[in-house]
Amino acid sequence: MDLGLTDRVFVVTGGARGLGRATVDVLVAEGARVVLSGRSEESLAQARDALGDAVELVVADNADPGTPERLVAAAQERWGRLDGALVSVGGPPKGPVTGITDDQWSAAFESVFLGAVRLGRTIGPALPPGGALAFVLSSSVRAPLSDMAVSNGLRPGLGMVAKQLADELGPAGVRVNGLLPGRVGTERVAELDAASGDADAARAAAIRTIPLRRYGVPEEFGRVAAFLLSPASSFVSGAMVPVDGGMLRAL
């Protein structure tokens, strides 16, 4: 299938590694151009080495209120257009409700929730008809994750924000969707497994909850994300799409 991405321009936040980077790889392979943002200049430089002139790098933190305007400007200045964005943020801290401090909640709200809202609020109206936004959320939108209080608290609300944004931008021909990754083999998931004290046992226990009996690989997520950003999914909007090997039990 031709996704129709040739010469289209996208912003991908948190795109230097993990699910964001996997999506960038697919977008570039399909002929798109990408404004790639992240907090680490070093990791962004590594992406440049791999992807070359197909990417424009912007060192930025999603918690910074000025970030959305900088990313839109970077796309317009480099390529003169912007067709969509993948809004991906770093994972919030692990821990139970009784163990997460006010400071941890506040910091996560600024980056995971409000940062994503600002990006959608700024980039969405700047997109032309046929443009698309996709938010990288979590399976915690539909079912709580053990020992992940912050994700369980913030992700469902952000999913509903994405749903309402789809209503608001739809009349302008702009689509908004959410992605609900489960256990995909990124550095972040490896860190969560290791935080249990026995990474192998944590991985084995998680795999038993996945009908496909394995972790996903980042490329599998990247292909779904690229499809949702592409004209090939032109009548898909307001959807929350699991990429989890069947792990979620809710419809």
Per-residue tokens: 84? 């969509």
Alpha-helical runs (H) found in 30-175: 41-51, 67-79, 102-108, 115-126, 149-169
Position 40 scores a pLDDT of: 83
Position 1 scores a pLDDT of: 81
Q: Is the pTM of this model over 0.85?
A: yes
Under a CB-based contact definition with an 8 Å cutoff, are residues 27 and 56 in contact?
Answer: no
Position 244 scores a pLDDT of: 97
Under a CB-based contact definition with an 8 Å cutoff, are residues 15 and 37 in contact?
Answer: yes
pLDDT tens for the chain, 251 residues long, are 899 999 999 999 988 889 999 999 999 999 999 999 998 888 898 888 889 899 999 999 999 999 999 999 999 999 999 999 999 987 788 899 999 999 999 999 998 999 999 999 999 999 999 999 999 999 999 999 999 999 999 999 999 999 999 999 999 999 999 999 999 998 888 888 888 888 999 999 999 999 999 999 999 999 999 999 999 999 999 999 999 999 999 88
Position 89 scores a pLDDT of: 80
Supply angle C-alpha 216, 51, 30, rounded to 5: 65
Position 67 scores a pLDDT of: 96
Query: Does domain 9-186+218-241 sit in CATH 1.10.8.50?
Result: no
Position 188 scores a pLDDT of: 86
Position 195 scores a pLDDT of: 85
Strands of the chain, DSSP E:
9-12, 33-38, 55-59, 84-87, 132-136, 175-181, 240-243
CA distance 84 to 88: 13
Position 42 scores a pLDDT of: 84
Report domain extents, the chain. Answer: 9-186+218-241
